Amino acid sequence: MAYPVHTLPGIDGRYMVTVEEIAPHLSMSAWTLAEACRRLEFPHFKLPHRRRVLIDVRHVAAFLEGAPLESKRLPGGGRVVKPGPARGRA
Q: What is the pLDDT of residues 8-54, one digit of tens each?
A: 544 666 788 999 999 998 999 999 999 999 999 999 999 888 888 99
Give the separation between CA 8 and CA 64, rounded to whole angstroms.
14
Cα 87–Cα 38–Cα 80 angle in degrees, nearest 5: 55
Give the separation between CA 5 and CA 39, rounded to whole angstroms.
24
pTM equals 0.79
Q: What is the pLDDT of residue 8?
A: 54
Q: What is the pLDDT of residue 9?
A: 47
pLDDT at 89 over 90: no
Q: What is the pLDDT of residue 90?
A: 44
Cα 23–Cα 24–Cα 25 angle in degrees, nearest 5: 90
Starting at the edge strand found earlier in the chain, the sheet holding 69-73 runs 16-18, 53-56, 44-46, 79-83, 69-73
